[in-house]
């Protein structure tokens, strides 16, 4: 696919009156209020939205110091019960969040081995059996989809599900499964925008309409082609849209970090370092959240990252974010020797040690260093804005620490 095939979203006029009206509706306070209340009262919505049922920008909830868990309250092998921090907030569904996390981890086990069902998990080698598509074309498409996602003002979980649907469909429809069957280069953008439409229908209250998808694709495809592709994707995946993505794992870990941060004076190892006031802690958590998603969204762009399961992506992104903010606080010469960034509390809640996701973190960090040399800057543009803390301008680690 020639890069010019995918028209820059920023150059679109957005002339449809309906599009403007619907975008205004999506960002209204009434929508946010309804969405949060729905998450608080229905397990189904929480499952769709990724454990917490909230978007990445609404993780922090103010708490009074009286809600901090007493030191004697412990969970498992000496780990504090971080969910106690949110027990009065129904949005976080603390009664069932452990069960949901366990369910996602169990589903991940289906991703292991050569006999994995590609209706549930994308193959890390699917491009081998797509004669007209290569790694660069996938990167161009995902970069464009990130711009589309921002243009439509969709929730963050929609983007992760859209890329997951895209990769799973390309894993199912290829020459390995059926000789002569593959996705033509001219149809790749159609698959991408239809995957976004399906993900939006699954995650959003008001998803984009088909005509909006046609318009934002510069009318390259007709309404009938989008609908036909939608049927084709659903059939190929057997309508299996409830799958683990990195988003719920990272949201879960960020909520744990914030809960532990509120109890940091009672812990033997700090999660949030050198923060003393609620304002400083809130500012730190905001930067940590943006930095973690900065790394995670780069992982979406990289085809090589498909070799890792979603929880490894989330763990690696949070680990790199913690390291990056330590460097921001102490300088590039800061030494991590003898310091445990991924301490026993994060190990407890993630069920992982650094060695379990270090390979993923190395690949992710290498790709973050590579992207500035390319033309595909959607993620960096997004995270260079003040809205996202300008985290793309931070000094990144040179290597991945061992602890």
Contact 330, 394 (CB under 8 A): no
Q: Are 220 and 172 in contact (CB under 8 A)?
A: no
Spatial distance between the Cα atoms of 224 and 226, rounded to a whole number of angstroms: 5
Give the bridge partners for 74, in sequence order.
Answer: 80
**Partners of 75 in the beta sheet?**
79
CA distance 46 to 334: 40
What is Dmax (Cα atoms) for the chain? 65
Mean pLDDT, 10 residues at a time, the chain of 403 residues: 45 44 47 36 39 37 38 43 75 80 82 68 91 95 96 96 96 80 94 98 96 96 97 94 92 88 52 61 91 96 94 96 89 66 87 93 95 93 94 90 75
Predicted confidence at residue 54, as pLDDT, reads: 34
CA pair distance 13, 151, nearest whole angstrom = 11
Contact 170, 183 (CB under 8 A): yes
Calpha distance 329→364 (Å, rounded) = 22
Please name which of 173, 167, 148 lies closest in space to residue 307, comparing C-alpha atoms.
167
Has this prediction a pTM greater than 0.75? yes
**Could you give the CA distance from residue 198 to residue 145 in angstroms, rounded to a whole number?**
13
Whole-angstrom distance, CA of residue 13 vs CA of residue 228: 27
- pLDDT value for 340: 74
Q: Angle 292-148-144 (CA atoms, 0-180°, nearest 5)?
A: 80
Which residues 6+ apart lie within 8 Å of 346 measured at CB? 253, 256, 257, 271, 318
Taking Cα atoms as reference points, which of 251, 262, 248 lies closest to residue 81?
262
Residue 80 near residue 69, CB atoms below 8 Å: yes
> What is the distance between the alpha carbons of residues 202 and 248, in angstroms, rounded to a whole number?
15
Q: How far apart are CA 300 and CA 223, in angstroms?
A: 27
Token pair, residue 249, equals: 């794992």
Q: What pLDDT was estimated at residue 272?
A: 52
Give the residue carrying structure tokens 């109890």: 263
CA distance 257 to 275: 13
What is the 3 state secondary structure string of the chain?
A: CCHHHCCCHHHCCCCCHHHHHHHHHHCCHHHHHHHHHHHHHCHHHHHHHCCCCCCHHHCCCCCCHHHCCCCCCEECCCEECHHHHHCCCHHHCCCCHHHHHHHHHHHHHHHCCCCCCCCCCCCCCHHHHCCCCCHHHHHHHHHHHHHHHHHHCCCHHHHHHHHHHHHHHHHHCCCCCCCCCCCCHHHHHHHHHHHHHHHHHHHCCCCCCHHHHHHHCCCCCCHHHHHHHHHHHHHHCCCCCCCCCHHHHHHHHHHHHHHHHCCHHHCCCCCCCCCCCHHHHHHHHHHHHHHHHHHHHHHHHCHHHHHCCHHHHHHHHHHHHHHHHHHHHHCCCCCCCCCCCCCHHHHHHHCCCHHHHHHHHHHHHHHHHHHHHCCCCHHHHHCCCHHHCCHHHCCCCCCCCCC
Query: Domains of the chain by range and CATH?
Result: 84-92+244-393 (1.10.472.10), 117-243 (1.10.472.10)
> CA 26, 30, 35: angle at the middle one, nearest 5?
75
Q: What pLDDT score was predicted for residue 262?
A: 64
**Tell me, what's the pLDDT at 139?**
96
């Amino acid at each position: 696919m020639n890069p010019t095939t995918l028209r820059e979203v920023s150059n679109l006029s957005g002339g449809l009156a309906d599009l403007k009206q619907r975008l205004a509706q999506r960002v209204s306070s009434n929508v946010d209020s309804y969405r949060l209340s729905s998450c608080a009262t229905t397990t189904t919505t929480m499952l769709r939205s990724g454990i917490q049922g909230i978007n990445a920008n609404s993780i922090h909830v103010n708490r009074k110091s009286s809600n901090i868990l007493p030191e004697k309250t412990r969970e498992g092998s000496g780990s504090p019960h971080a969910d106690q921090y949110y027990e009065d907030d129904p949005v976080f569904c603390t009664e069932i969040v452990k069960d949901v996390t366990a369910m996602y981890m169990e589903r991940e086990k289906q991703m292991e081995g050569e006999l994995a069902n590609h209706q549930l998990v994308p193959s890390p080698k699917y491009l081998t059996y797509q004669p007209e598509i290569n790694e660069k074309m996938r990167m161009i498409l995902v970069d464009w989809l990130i711009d589309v996602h921002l243009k439509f003002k969709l929730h963050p979980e929609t983007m992760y599900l859209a890329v997951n649907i895209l990769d799973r469909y390309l894993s199912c429809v290829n020459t390995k499964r059926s000789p002569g069957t593959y996705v033509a280069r001219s149809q790749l953008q159609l698959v991408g925008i239809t995957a976004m439409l399906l993900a939006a229908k699954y995650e959003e209250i008001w998803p984009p309409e088909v005509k909006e998808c046609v318009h934002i694709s510069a009318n390259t495809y007709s309404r009938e082609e989008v609908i036909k592709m939608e049927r084709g994707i659903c059939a190929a995946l057997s309508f299996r849209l409830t799958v683990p993505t990195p988003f719920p794992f990272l949201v879960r870990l960020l909520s744990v970090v914030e809960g532990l941060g509120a109890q940091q004076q009672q812990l033997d190892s700090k999660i949030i370092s050198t923060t003393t006031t609620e304002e400083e802690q809130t500012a730190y958590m905001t930067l940590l959240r943006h930095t973690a998603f900065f790394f995670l969204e780069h992982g979406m762009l990289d085809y090589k990252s498909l070799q890792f399961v979603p929880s490894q992506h989330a763990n690696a992104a949070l680990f790199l974010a913690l390291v990056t903010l330590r460097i921001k606080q102490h300088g590039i010469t800061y030494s991590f020797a003898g310091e445990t960034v991924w301490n026993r509390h994060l190990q407890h809640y993630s069920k992982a040690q650094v060695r379990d996701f270090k390979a993923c973190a190395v690949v992710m960090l290498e790709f973050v260093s590579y992207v500035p040399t390319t033309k595909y800057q959607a993620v960096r543009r997004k995270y260079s804005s003040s809205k996202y803390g300008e985290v793309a301008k931070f000094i990144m680690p040179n290597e991945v620490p061992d602890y």
